[in-house]
Amino acid sequence: MKQSELKFYQVALITVGLSILWTGLSRFFNLFSVASYNTMFRSATTIFWHVLAPMALAYLAFFIVMTKLGRVEQVYQKQPDIQHRSTKVIFGLIVTAMLLFAAWNLYHHLLPILENWSGQAGMRLGMAFLSTFFVGLTEESVFRGFALSEFRKRYSEQVSCLLSLLLFGLWHFPNVIAGAPFLQAFLQVFSTMIIGAGLYMTVRLSKSIWGGVAMHCFWDFALVIAH
């Protein structure tokens, strides 16, 4: 039986609902480990309770919803080829710049940790990597997998991309629930839309959201280990 096409507001409700779920769980888990939004990555314990556990549960909820809607295969299907060589070159240059910037961040933030190495530092790095993997897996599955492919049924590639980026930006505003200052969450809406454009390019170049997951994980890991 042919699947019915979801409207924009229906896709938006799913994405906003998942965002509220993970940020709400992160706030709720203060019962087990107290941390503010900006101190979630201070230790392996805070990372587990405030990032890894809530995001993994959000991904589980997403997977259940996609199963009910019959869209799991759609989320992880091969991405369409880039038709124009010039577009592929531009995407490649931007993605390369993102990789180099993330690599510089990783070196800059990892060096002090290695110079003051301890068992706790190793546990924190391992937990940070697992958490950023689940962040990348969840957000790429939701936006470059589900939302983008759903919008393609109704709109052009350009419009579908812009709508998925809009929702990706709005996904970050409920960070206020997890304790982020209002202004910080508001600015994240716009900054993550820009980063999301690069992640979209990564997905298109790699022809799979797994390329986006890898880039997303690498980008976030290189940043959060400095916290």
CA of 98: how far to CAs of 95, 102, 104, 165, 212, in Å? 5, 6, 10, 17, 12
Give the tokens for residue 30.
Answer: 């203060």
User: Which secondary-structure segment (H or E) carries 126?
Assistant: helix 119-139
Cβ–Cβ < 8 Å for 27, 178: yes
Cβ–Cβ < 8 Å for 219, 98: yes
Q: Which pLDDT belongs to residue 227?
A: 79
Give the tokens for residue 207.
Answer: 């022809």
User: What is the pLDDT tens value at each position of the chain, 227 positions in all?
Assistant: 457 899 999 999 999 999 999 999 999 999 999 999 999 999 999 999 999 999 999 999 999 999 999 999 999 999 999 999 999 999 999 999 999 999 999 999 999 999 999 989 999 999 999 999 999 999 999 999 999 999 999 999 999 999 999 999 999 999 999 999 999 999 999 999 999 999 999 999 999 999 999 999 999 999 999 87
Three-state secondary-structure class, residue 98: helix
At 148-162, the pLDDT tens digits run 999 999 999 999 999
Cβ–Cβ < 8 Å for 59, 138: yes
Owner of token pair 């505003």: 173
**Alpha-carbon torsion angle 131, 132, 135, 140, nearest 10:** -150
Q: Which pLDDT belongs to residue 83?
A: 92
Q: Which pLDDT belongs to residue 1?
A: 44
Q: Which pLDDT belongs to residue 144?
A: 98
What gap in Å lies between CA 91 and CA 99, rounded to an integer? 12
Q: How many CB atoms lie within 10 A of CB 39?
A: 13
Q: Which pLDDT belongs to residue 2?
A: 56
At 163-192, the pLDDT tens digits run 999 999 999 999 999 999 999 999 999 999
Q: Domains of the chain: which residue ranges?
A: 8-72+84-224
- Sequence letter at residue 23: T
At 123-134, the pLDDT tens digits run 999 999 999 999
